[in-house]
Every structure is written in C-alpha cells, then in structure tokens.
Structure 1
C-alpha cells in the first residue's frame, strides 16, 4: 500500500481511502461489528469476483481485488474500488451511497478531505449569519432565528431549486464546496446592502456559472 492515504469523515468517524480509491475495509467494518473476511467468503461475493475476473483484461485473481497490510498504522484489509461499494452496501445502504461519492471524487482527482470541506462550509455559514446580524443592527433591528433559517434555505434553493433545509453531513466534499462559495458570495452581497430578491437573482446566476465550469472541467 504505497498510494497516499486520504482521510474522509462519515458521521463524525474517519474513513480512509488511498488516492487510487482503495477502501480501508477493516477499519470501517469494525464500526458495524463486522469483518471483511466474512463478506469476502460469501458465495455472492465469490460469484461477483469470478464475474469481475472474466470481464477484466488483466484477469486478476480474487485475492488481487483485496490486499492485507500487516504492521504500521495502515494495517488491515483494503478493498479495490470495484469492490468497495458492494462491500459498503453489505455494511449499510446509506454508507454505500456515501462511499460511492467519495470514490468517484477521488478517481476524478477531487481528493479534498470531507472534514476540511465541512469545516469550510461551517465557516461560510457563520460569515452569512454575522453579515445578517450586522445588517439588522445597522437598521436598528435585532436579527431573529427566521432570518438565519431563511438565508440558509436561500443558499439551498439557488443550488438545488428547493427552498428547504439540507443535512450538510450528508453532502460530499464537492457539494460542500459549492455551498461555501455561495455563502461567501451571499456574505459579500449582504454587506453591500443588496435586498433579498436581488441577492437571490445574483446568487442563482453565480451558482449556475460555477456548476457550468465544473461540468466543463469534468468533460475536458
């Protein structure tokens, strides 16, 4: 295991992949009171490995889809990205969806740790809240909870089209980055005194530009 180890965060717990998308299966399985070897020994897993071998030019043996590192902080069983999601589904359906997103980001070169993206989004949210409070204060008013809630929903609306809350712990690093950029833009717009309706139009245009650039980068 020579590739760089990249830590992610799933529901407050670290999950490790390497830069090639291999999952540290032993580490995460322990949190579900399971073992990788139990999954690897299942008839359905063996059948899946046989199918993979038939369809893979390199003709890897079953053991080549997993590897065990002994000694050191990265010891344990690691699974190839072609197996990681199937293994994650055995552990938890929700975890498998999250795992698929992280592997996709890694293989696309978007390897920013989730925990870092989550912290940045939290900072962006705090900046928006501070801007709202200062704006209300300048008008001789006191900011109310609904001011902060509606602004957070505005950010979600210009990104998803839905004026509703989102559980940020369920967003991947790329989604969190988009939220952060929108929040920072919103903070600047509030500082200029721009009214809500105008901010919505401006933010919507800004987010569409960011999403368009992202799609062009993927297609390149």
Structure 2
C-alpha cells in the first residue's frame, strides 16, 4: 500500500487513510535532525501516564481512534492523529515540535493549492474536448471516443513522458482514481497550460502534427526546466 507523506529532515513521514501520522517515521526524522535519541521511541511516549490520559480523552472526542498500533506485518508501528503527532514531537524536543507544526501547516497549504490546480486542470479539459467536437462537426466528420483520448494522450506524453494508462501502471494507481491526484504541482500546471494552448490550436484548424510540434516547443521553453528542478527538490 502506498501512503501519502510529508517530508521532515529528509524522511518521508507516512499518513494513513484516517489521517494519522506514523510516529516511528517522526522519530526517525527527529533522529536524522539531531533532535531525538534512539530511546525516545513512540512506545515509550505512549506508555506515559499523562499521554495515556490524553489519548483516552481524545478518543472520546473524535470519531477515529487517535492512536493505532500495528504489530508485525509490512507496516508495523504506531500511528497518531495530528494532535498526538505534535504532542509526541513536543515530548521529543520543543524545537522539533515547532518544525513538525510548521511542516504540517505547509503540507496542508500545498494540498489545498494542489486541489485548486487539479480542479483548474479539470475545467480546462472540457474546452479542449468541446473544440475537438466543434472542429470535427464543422468538417462534417464523425466523432468517436478515441478523438478525445488521442488529445489527452498527446498532452500527457509531452508533460509526463507517457500516456495516462502507463502512468497508472507505473505509479500503481487504481482504474477509478484520477491521475491528477498523483501529479506534482508543476506537472498539473504544465498540463493545464498545454491544454489551453491546444484548445486554441484546434480552433485555428491546425492538424495533429502541427499542434504536437508547437506544444512540444512550448513545453521545452516554459516547462521542461521547472519540472526538472521540481523533481530535484522532491528527491532532496
């Protein structure tokens, strides 16, 4: 199972489907950042009488279990909701608590921004499909599903270097899931801009190869380097 993550001190801190953070990942991050000892593991934190009471109170006030501990299996460890994760960070070291809090806030901001960008990309897709429909109708040609998928593949091959189908396989994405939910901000921005340009070119009556060459030129000029730089940042 693939988990969404936030990155702290070069460590990917996993988040489960209920929004709980992996406390073992947080501990590893604190150790990497020189803010924790090996002995300050989640198990010791959760044994504390004060924390036990805190978790009990939290359990009565929340719908999901605030702490989940998995023994054995592929993903063992302790998982805690944000309040527990921040309390654990404070237990480790006050400076680490501040770092964790700021990281969580920024992650939420980026997630909200990504959602806005994804919605923009979705909205920009319809004008492109409408342009395809109108252009073929004006030429007296029939319209088939592959005419729309060909345009989507054109954009994805340029922006992602693969079709949506291959992107799903490569990233283990379910058939019912949108690939946009797995794209980086720069990838979404690139796709949105190429869709806008392609819509204009279709309306101008340009053929497929002419549009492809021009879109590739736009990609090379405006998007290739930002995408490379983004990948370097994500890998750091």
TM-score (norm 2): 0.52
Question: CA offset at residue 35 of structure 1?
Answer: 6.0
The answer to whether the 8 Å contact 2:156/2:164 transfers is yes
The answer to whether the 8 Å contact 2:187/2:227 transfers is no
The answer to whether the 8 Å contact 1:53/1:62 transfers is no
Question: Quick one: structure 1 residues 65 and 152, their matched pair in 2 at CA, closer, same or farther if it must change by over 3 Å?
Answer: same
2:213 to 186, 201, 210: 201
Gaps of 5+ in 1: 1-10, 17-24, 68-76, 85-101
Query: In structure 2, what is the Cα distance between the partners aligned to 1:156 and 1:216?
Result: 16
Query: In structure 2, what is the Cα distance between the partners aligned to 1:176 and 1:128?
Result: 16
1:63 aligns with 2:124: no
Gaps of 5+ in 2: 7-12, 37-89, 168-178, 231-236
Matched pairs, number? 157
Question: CA offset at residue 168 of structure 1?
Answer: 1.5
Residue aligning to 1:176: 188
Measured against aligned partners, the alpha-carbon deviations of 1:96-119 in whole angstroms (never above 9, x if no partner) come to xxxxxx86xx8xxx8970111001
Residue aligning to 1:52: 33
Question: Quick one: structure 1 residues 52 and 161, their matched pair in 2 at CA, closer, same or farther if it must change by over 3 Å?
Answer: closer
Residue aligning to 2:58: none
Query: In structure 2, what is the Cα distance between the partners aligned to 1:35 and 1:204?
Result: 40
Query: In structure 2, what is the Cα distance between the partners aligned to 1:216 and 1:172?
Result: 12
Higher relative contact order (CA 8 A, sep 6+): 1
Question: Quick one: structure 1 residues 187 and 63, their matched pair in 2 at CA, closer, same or farther if it must change by over 3 Å?
Answer: same
Residue aligning to 1:5: none
The answer to whether the 8 Å contact 1:158/1:207 transfers is yes
Question: Quick one: structure 1 residues 212 and 146, their matched pair in 2 at CA, closer, same or farther if it must change by over 3 Å?
Answer: closer
The answer to whether the 8 Å contact 1:135/1:190 transfers is yes
Measured against aligned partners, the alpha-carbon deviations of 1:188-216 in whole angstroms (never above 9, x if no partner) come to 00000000011110110111111256379
Query: In structure 2, what is the Cα distance between the partners aligned to 1:132 and 1:112?
Result: 31
Question: Aligned-residue CA RMSD in angstroms?
Answer: 4.4
Residue aligning to 2:234: none
- Give secondary structure in 1 for the equivalent of 2:143: coil
Query: In structure 2, what is the Cα distance between the partners aligned to 1:206 and 1:117?
Result: 19
